[in-house]
Structure 1
């Protein structure tokens, strides 16, 4: 039986009150690769969004219970096991944050997280 992990290894490359740049090392035993897909494992977009919410909360103190939408969501290049990807989380304004995943392979995904202003 394989011991699965749910999050990548995370290193902070840069951090300020307005943004954080993280390096994520994607392990082969990541739970989300299980059955997605057997011939060539790829990281599902829903896992990438989950990580965005997790790291927004952890590093930029965002209350992700206030998320009302994810806008301009684009998945460009798949993420596979053993990739090192950079995740840039940036505050655009009090109710909007952008995110982008990139690596030596190119731009993987990007979008904006919109919060309620209540």
Structure 2
């Protein structure tokens, strides 16, 4: 079976926040063909994971109603260790997400965004 999700290293949850530490394994199906000489994790995969883990750890609605803000700043490469922070605002039905990693002496934000969820 083809692997579609990263390896979860750690998960911390609070009422409306989840922080996941992930290893973005090089053998993920999503790296195939995206791109052969410079593989990177597709943006659609990052959105999919944010929604998947929000449903699992924050009990958010499963229905995606659209993106409001999205920024892809730095590529996520095979075998990267990244932190995914999820914040759920139940009053507005909005999920905020941010992928980041520590690289040398600085914190790098790979992507961030907000999506509307509902029933």
TM over 0.5: yes
Q: 1: distance between equivalents of 2:117 and 2:12?
A: 24
Confirm or deny: 8 A CA contact 1:12 1:20 kept in the other structure. no
Q: Give the number of aligned pairs.
A: 114
In structure 1, the residue matched to 2:109 is: 107
TM-score with structure 1 setting the length: 0.89
Unaligned segments of structure 1, at least 5 residues? none
Say which of 34, 43, 53 aligns to 1:36. 34
- 1:80 matched to 2:77: yes
Shift of 1:14: 2.0
Q: 2: distance between equivalents of 1:99 and 1:5?
A: 22
4+ long deviations beyond 3 Å: none
The alignment's C-alpha RMSD in Å is 1.5
Shift of 1:58: 0.3
Q: Within 5 A, what are the aligned runs for 1:18-97? A: 18-65=16-63, 67-94=64-91, 95-97=93-95
Unaligned segments of structure 2, at least 5 residues? none
